[in-house]
Amino acid sequence: MPLKNKWVLITGASSGFGAAGAVAFGAEGAKLLLGARRVDRLKKVAAESKKSGAVAAHFHELDVSKTASVEEFISWSAKIIGGKNLHVLINNAGGAHGIDTIADGKDADWEAMIQSNVLGVLRVTRAALPLMPRDAGASIINIGSVAGHTAYEGGAVYCAAKAGEMQITRALRLELLGTGIRVGTVDPGLAETEFSIVRFKGDASAAKKVYEGTHPLTAEDIAKILVWVASRPAHVNIDELVVKPVDQAAVGKVFRRKF
Ligand SMILES: NC(=O)c1ccc[n+]([C@@H]2O[C@H](COP(=O)([O-])OP(=O)(O)OC[C@H]3O[C@@H](n4cnc5c(N)ncnc54)[C@H](OP(=O)(O)O)[C@@H]3O)[C@@H](O)[C@H]2O)c1
């Protein structure tokens, strides 16, 4: 399924997997619609994507935790693409906030995680579905996590959110049967992006420790996998894909070299 001249919408495109995804889909000659809250960063990503080969790269502010923002973003997208031309939707916006146990959990962190990782996926999908063509190899790819498969201390709400994302993906796969729209989840393990900086609220040294002595996935590793998923033949659906670094055998089982 060639991606040249196909419209690809990526949420959370201002950093990490989303930004690398924009560049990787750009290299395939795709046309991009990029959303996130940090518009200055989106502008840079759009420029990089064009350099890598994107036929078009448009960006607009998007906060997936707000229905009004999602609806505005999708009507902006609809005007640009005109008609049922959205070929790939990547629900990537999200992340973890804090590492507190439930006993010490903060409402603001819990709410932010559910808003972006769960409700954000639902809102964007609901709004974008009318723009997706039937029987044309279109894809919805949600970004889950190994956290959706295994609970860990301090991760209750993030794990719940990503388990929720997985069940939403499964329900959507059933609901869209017969439309020809492909639905799947890509669930990464340890990857070095801004994920841990956000989780540790800007504490860069705490974030660095997460990856100490180990060889994590990069944003580009995941971006290439997203391109691969979207470019399978139209009759092939990658339902669920777990991707971990070789150094991570399980969520809490990470090999670390001593220097
Ligand atoms: N890195 C990992 O180890 C890992 C592993 C498994 C899964 N994941 C998942 O992968 C996805 C991408 O994370 P990443 O690792 O690339 O981290 P990242 O570098 O922090 O990127 C997260 C992206 O999500 C956007 N975002 C967050 N909340 C948003 C909101 N309310 N509305 C719109 N955009 C929002 C951010 O943009 P703005 O801040 O500009 O809005 C940013 O572009 C997330 O769903 C994360 O949970 C990450």
pLDDT in tens, the chain (259 residues): 899 999 999 999 999 999 999 999 999 999 999 999 999 999 999 999 999 999 999 999 999 999 999 999 999 999 999 999 999 999 999 999 999 999 999 999 999 999 999 999 999 999 999 999 999 999 999 999 999 999 999 999 999 999 999 999 999 999 999 999 999 999 999 999 999 999 999 999 999 999 999 999 999 999 999 999 999 999 999 999 999 999 999 999 999 998 6
Per DSSP, the three-state class of 215 is: coil
The pTM (predicted TM-score) of the whole model is 0.98
Collapsing DSSP to helix, strand or coil, 217 comes out as strand
Is residue 184 within 8 A of residue 229, CB to CB? The reply is: yes
Q: Is the CB of 158 inside a 6 Å radius of any atom of ligand 1?
A: no
Give the per-residue pLDDT at 258.
83
Single out the catalytic residue among 110, 158, 195, 200.
158
State if residue 184 touches ligand 1 by the CB under 6 angstroms criterion: no
The candidate with the shortest Cα–Cα distance to 221, out of 200, 239, 204, 246, is 246
Residue 211 designated active-site: no
Q: What is the secondary structure of 121-188 as a DSSP string?
A: HHHHHHHHGGGSPSSS--EEEEE--GGGTS--TT-HHHHHHHHHHHHHHHHHHHHTTTTT-EEEEEEE
Instruction: Please tell me the distance from the alpha carbon of residue 140 to that of residue 212, in angstroms, as a whole number.
Output: 34
* Angle (deg, nearest 10), helices 120-128 and 67-81: 30
CA distance 39 to 182: 29
How far is 87 from 234, CA to CA, in rounded Å?
11
CA 81 – ligand 1 centroid, Å: 25
User: How open is the CA angle 79-131-92, to the nearest 5 degrees?
Assistant: 100
101, 106, 112, 117 alpha-carbon torsion, rounded to 10°: 20
Residues 138 and 87 sit within 8 Å (Cβ to Cβ): yes
The single-letter DSSP state of residue 66 is -
Indicate the length of the chain as a whole number.
Answer: 259
- Cα 95 to ligand 1 centre (Å): 5
Task: Identify the CA nearest to 98 among candidates 205, 200, 203.
Answer: 200
Say what the pLDDT of residue 259 is. 64
Cα of 36 from ligand 1 centre, angstroms? 9
- Cα 66 to its chain centre, rounded Å, is 17
143 lines ligand 1 (CB under 6 A): yes
